[in-house]
Chain A
Amino acid sequence: MSVHVEPIRVYITIFLALMGLTVLTVWAAFQDFGVMSNPIALGIAIAKATLVVLFFMHVRHSTGMTKLVVAGGFLWLLILFGITLSDYQTRDILDPPAAMTMPVDVPGPAHH
């Protein structure tokens, strides 16, 4: 199996890109994008992580098996976030039926 050697300028370019994206992260944090604030911050973070994984971790020129392992890791992260969010995102939309809730004016045991 031959090992692909990246020229040094690729690393420098990626490093500069990461620095640029970090500046963008800080700038974006001080702007008010409304509901888009989180997606924008996450988008920049994903872009940075992708550069690190593909170039610094050499996945771009790795075997199919390595790519599968990396993809598997992210799929599992998606399972963790996705199914956890299935709880947080549905807490308000599926209230228990009225019959199961306790009316507030039920008299409690007498206190003396």
Chain B
Amino acid sequence: MSNAKSKERPEGYPDRHYLNAAHGLKSWFLTTDHKRIGLLYLLAITLFFFLGGAFAVLIRLELATPGGDLVQPETYNRLFTMHGIVMIFFFLIPSIPAVLGNFLLPLMIGAKDVAFPRLNLASWYVYMAGGIFTLWALFEGGLNTGWTFYTPLSTVYSNTAVTTAGIGIFITGFSSILTGMNFIVTIHRMRAPGLTWFRLPLFVWSQYATSLIQILGTPVLAITVLLLALERTLKLGIFDPALGGDPVLFQHLFWFYSHPAVYIMILPAMGVISELIATFSRKRVFGYRFVAFASVAIAILGFLVWGHHLFVSGQSVYAGAVFSVLSMLVAIPSAVKVFNWTATLYKGAVSWETPMLYALGFIGLFTIGGLTGVMLATMGIDIHVHDTYFIVAHFHYIMVGGAIMGYLGGLHYWWPKIAGRLYPVFLSKFAAIIIFVGFNLTFFPQFILGYLGMPRRYHSYPDEFQVLNVMSSAGATILGIGYLIPMLYFAWSMFYGKRCTQNPWGAKGLEWETASPPPTLNFDEIPTVTEEPYDYTPKEVQHAG
């Protein structure tokens, strides 16, 4: 695109907005503007995403051949551990809440900022401090416990940087708690006049549910990691039987947070999908209240299912049976959402814009991830495929096929709001399609590998598994290129993209009723809400009805 074209200003394009309201590094690093903080998070998590991705590249390269010929087994252990830690704690958990949530929540509820703007900035610094510890752990040689830190390996046997990484996660947890608390107070106290709970966009409902998990679950992770560090350094007997502790207790405490953490990743993505489906079907989301309450139900039920990670860890059979049944209950609100999105599409004026491609991809991939989750909640199946690639495939369908598809869909949808500029349409659709293809080629073979018995976390495997592993590694290459393309065109678009109008999708929602990019205080005048959410029905039809 020519430079001249990127400087064209559509009618109504603001002269002053949050991006040019102040200049210089200080104006960014000391900002209390939720939108700028969202962009600080965007930069930081993108760096961590590509760091975590680099570990994945090495893992898939090693697994392209059956022999362990690229890295030593010990190095491989460190690679998958760092991949997991970086991707989960430093990318997926903050991804939608800290970037899109931060940017959009006040805009969506008609507020000038979040309830505690300085605390919001503090959360970014806390996140970065935790990130630095994790990078430090990397320079210490990484760690080999897996992202799950299971005892007694993490407390007794591992001589790697467990404590440093644990401190990093402990610190970063507080950033998550601060964000969650900020959002809950913001949603309760700062909604625009007329914006009742059942007029809130479903993205806000999902952020609310996510925030509940963040503040109720994350402290337990912090305590667990702290106890682990204390046992490791001071020989305090918590998890080591030789000191009077119990290693299964670690798993209970760890998964009490880390299973709900899956919903911290997927619930915001579900919120994004609700917005995309409504906008690009030009319809109110079918069963709005059911979808809203399903978010809260997932947040609550998600806390009752952690024991399905312990089916073969020595947990009692009775508790296993209880956790098995409870785990299946989560499928109900999840299915409510999938069915309601599908029903929204029915007879909608569906258009195939880039964000919609991600939304449709999400529905398919999340359904596969969710249904294999129901399989794994069944003890008989779980015991058979435990610690195999079936598990790896299942959770990547949720976290990559679900959470990252939602994140990218949201980023493409709200990018004109964030940057006030457009990205290349054809290239973005091309990237969405190759991400979908690359993803499935990477992870579907892993379901088969796992079912055939290939265990996870080994750097070599029998020859008969090679074809499927080569497919997976080839898919990962395609997926990697698919992720690079949006990063490049978003970076380009931020400075050179064609300037857009205030509401390029013709979407409903308060965030589209202000300029793109918005002014620092979001609205020149606080809006008053008089209509239901997603009110796409033309007024003349409403009157006729």
Q: Are A72 and B322 in contact (CB under 8 A)?
A: no
In the complex, B340 has a CB within 8 A of chain A: no
In the complex, A20 has a CB within 8 A of chain B: no
Q: Are A90 and B220 in contact (CB under 8 A)?
A: no
In the complex, A23 has a CB within 8 A of chain B: no
Nearest B residue (CB) for A96:
B317
B307 touches which of A76, A83, A91 (Cβ 8 Å): A83
Closest chain B CB from A3 CB (angstroms) = 17
Q: Which residues of A contact B249 (CB under 8 A)?
A: 84
Q: Which residues of A contact B252 (CB under 8 A)?
A: 84, 87
Q: Give chain A interface residues in 32-80, CB to chain B under 8 Å.
A: 65, 72-73, 76, 79-80
B317 touches which of A72, A76, A94 (Cβ 8 Å): A94
Separation of A86 and B253 alpha carbons in the complex (Å) = 14
Q: Are A83 and B304 in contact (CB under 8 A)?
A: yes
Q: Which residues of B contact A87 (CB under 8 A)?
A: 248, 252, 307, 310, 315-316, 319
Separation of A83 and B303 alpha carbons in the complex (Å) = 10
Q: Which residues of B contact A86 (CB under 8 A)?
A: 316, 318-319, 322
Q: Which residues of A contact B256 (CB under 8 A)?
A: 80, 84
In the complex, A26 has a CB within 8 A of chain B: no
In the complex, B539 has a CB within 8 A of chain A: no
Nearest A residue (CB) for B212:
A72
Q: Are B316 and A76 in contact (CB under 8 A)?
A: no
Q: A65-B188, A86-B322, A87-B307 are in contact. Are A80 and B220 (CB under 8 A)?
A: yes
Closest chain A CB from B398 CB (angstroms) = 22
Nearest A residue (CB) for B246:
A88
In the complex, B216 has a CB within 8 A of chain A: yes
Q: Which residues of B contact A73 (CB under 8 A)?
A: 216
Separation of A91 and B220 alpha carbons in the complex (Å) = 24
Separation of A76 and B215 alpha carbons in the complex (Å) = 11
Q: Are A93 and B307 in contact (CB under 8 A)?
A: no
Q: Which residues of A contact B304 (CB under 8 A)?
A: 79, 83
Q: Which residues of B contact A91 (CB under 8 A)?
A: 316
Nearest B residue (CB) for A100:
B317
Q: Are A90 and B303 in contact (CB under 8 A)?
A: no
Q: Give chain B interface residues in 317-331, CB to chain A under 8 Å.
A: 317-319, 322
Interface of B is mostly: helix
Separation of A96 and B248 alpha carbons in the complex (Å) = 19
Of B220, B306, B319, chain A has the most CB atoms within 10 Å of the CB of B319
Closest chain A CB from B256 CB (angstroms) = 5
Nearest A residue (CB) for B249:
A84
Separation of A90 and B317 alpha carbons in the complex (Å) = 8
Of the four ranges (under 10, 10 to 19, 20 to 34, 35 or more), the interface on chain B belongs to 10 to 19
Separation of A76 and B252 alpha carbons in the complex (Å) = 14
Closest chain B CB from A83 CB (angstroms) = 7
Nearest B residue (CB) for A80:
B256
Q: Are B319 and A90 in contact (CB under 8 A)?
A: yes
Q: A72-B216, A80-B220 are in contact. Are A93 and B318 (CB under 8 A)?
A: yes
Closest chain A CB from B225 CB (angstroms) = 15
Q: Which residues of B contact A90 (CB under 8 A)?
A: 316-319
Nearest B residue (CB) for A89:
B316
Separation of A88 and B248 alpha carbons in the complex (Å) = 10
Q: Which residues of B contact A94 (CB under 8 A)?
A: 316-318
Nearest A residue (CB) for B326:
A83
Separation of A32 and B322 alpha carbons in the complex (Å) = 36
Separation of A80 and B249 alpha carbons in the complex (Å) = 11
Nearest A residue (CB) for B322:
A86
Closest chain A CB from B341 CB (angstroms) = 30
Q: Are B303 and A76 in contact (CB under 8 A)?
A: yes
Closest chain A CB from B68 CB (angstroms) = 28
Q: Which residues of A contact B319 (CB under 8 A)?
A: 83, 86-87, 90
Q: Give chain B interface residues in 277-323, CB to chain A under 8 Å.
A: 303-304, 306-307, 310, 315-319, 322
Separation of A73 and B177 alpha carbons in the complex (Å) = 14
Q: Which residues of B contact A79 (CB under 8 A)?
A: 303-304
Separation of A106 and B188 alpha carbons in the complex (Å) = 65
Q: Which residues of A contact B310 (CB under 8 A)?
A: 87
Closest chain B CB from A70 CB (angstroms) = 12
Separation of A20 and B400 alpha carbons in the complex (Å) = 55
Q: Give chain A interface residues in 79-112, CB to chain B under 8 Å.
A: 79-80, 83-84, 86-88, 90-91, 93-94, 96
Closest chain B CB from A80 CB (angstroms) = 5
Q: Which residues of B contact A96 (CB under 8 A)?
A: 317
Separation of A87 and B216 alpha carbons in the complex (Å) = 22
Q: Which residues of A contact B253 (CB under 8 A)?
A: 80, 84
Nearest B residue (CB) for A86:
B319
Of A72, A79, A96, chain B has the most CB atoms within 10 Å of the CB of A79
Q: Which residues of A contact B306 (CB under 8 A)?
A: 83
Q: Which residues of B contact A83 (CB under 8 A)?
A: 304, 306-307, 319, 322
Nearest B residue (CB) for A72:
B216
Q: A83-B322, A86-B319 are in contact. List 15 more A-B contacts (CB 8 A).
A: A76-B216, A76-B303, A79-B304, A83-B307, A83-B319, A84-B252, A84-B253, A84-B256, A87-B315, A90-B316, A90-B319, A91-B316, A94-B316, A94-B318, A96-B317
Instruction: Provide 27 A-B residue pairs closer than 8 Å at the C-beta atoms, listed in order of the A residue.
Output: A65-B188, A72-B216, A76-B216, A76-B303, A79-B303, A79-B304, A80-B253, A80-B256, A83-B304, A83-B306, A83-B307, A83-B319, A84-B249, A84-B252, A84-B253, A84-B256, A86-B318, A86-B319, A87-B307, A87-B310, A87-B315, A88-B316, A90-B317, A90-B318, A93-B318, A94-B318, A96-B317
Residues of A within 8 A of B (CB): 65, 72-73, 76, 79-80, 83-84, 86-88, 90-91, 93-94, 96
Residues of B within 8 A of A (CB): 188, 216, 220, 248-249, 252-253, 256, 303-304, 306-307, 310, 315-319, 322
Q: Ordered nearest first, which 9 A-B pairs have the shortest CB separation?
A: A87-B319, A90-B318, A90-B316, A94-B318, A91-B316, A84-B252, A76-B216, A87-B315, A86-B319
